[in-house]
Structure 1
Amino acid sequence: MTPTQIAALIVAGAFVLLVVLLAIPLVKLGRTLDEATVAIRKAHENTDPIFTGANSTLTHVNTQLERVDGITANAKTVSGNVSALSSLFTATLGGPLVKTAAFSYGVSKALRARRKRKEEPWGKHSRRKGGRK
């Protein structure tokens, strides 16, 4: 064997060793990709029930929101009716009622003052300065 052939054998052995050393990580990487493919497939199979449940939940939420919209509209109508009723009450009965209340307050105050004068004839509200004799 010539030195060139020996060098070629060494280079060939080194190349085989390099291929074997690179083959091990490639085999491991292939197994990892297979596991990732299986995991993605399982995740894809399990998404149908999740999406179905989410879809039914959204349908239920939309139904409830429609009910809330109806309730809100009814509450708005009721508040408008109450506002109109209070305005009508104020316009029709408010003025006379306030006048009646003021009149009755004035009458009761006058009656109290009169009773007080009758009970204390020589008090500060008396017109006589010397009192009765």
Structure 2
Amino acid sequence: MSQPATQPDSAFLLGIAAGGVVGSLSRYAVQLALPHTAGSFPWSTLVVNLTGAVAMGLLVAFLVARPGAHRLARPVVGVGVLGGWTTFSAFAVDTVTLLETGHGGAAAAYVLSSFLGSVLAVTLGSIVGQRIWRIAS
């Protein structure tokens, strides 16, 4: 039987919120730096999602290597910063927009590069993180 969920404290909630602000504003900056119009390839969304996947792999490797890490590391960085940084909803809208504007090939390439790229990116981040934190310990 699972343990009942505990109520998060204010540091937990504020940490996630602050991390979300950092991640979201950073993602917006990338969107400004790499703008795209309807029907053009959404490089900004692909960049944030792939780099977010690498960062998630690094975070997981860190947390596994450091079981005594601060209790807010995972929620602030994983849920807050990386949750604000990455964006599935923009990925979905970009894909539909590519399809609606007659760019089916680009939509397929985008979906494939996003999904496969993200899985590979998490794997890469995890492998690199395991090596970094094994050396550092």
TM-score category, normalised to shorter length: under 0.3
> Which entry has the higher C-alpha Rg, 1 or 2?
1
Q: Structure 1 length as normaliser, TM-score? A: 0.25
More helix by proportion, 1 or 2? 1
Q: Structure 2 length as normaliser, TM-score? A: 0.24
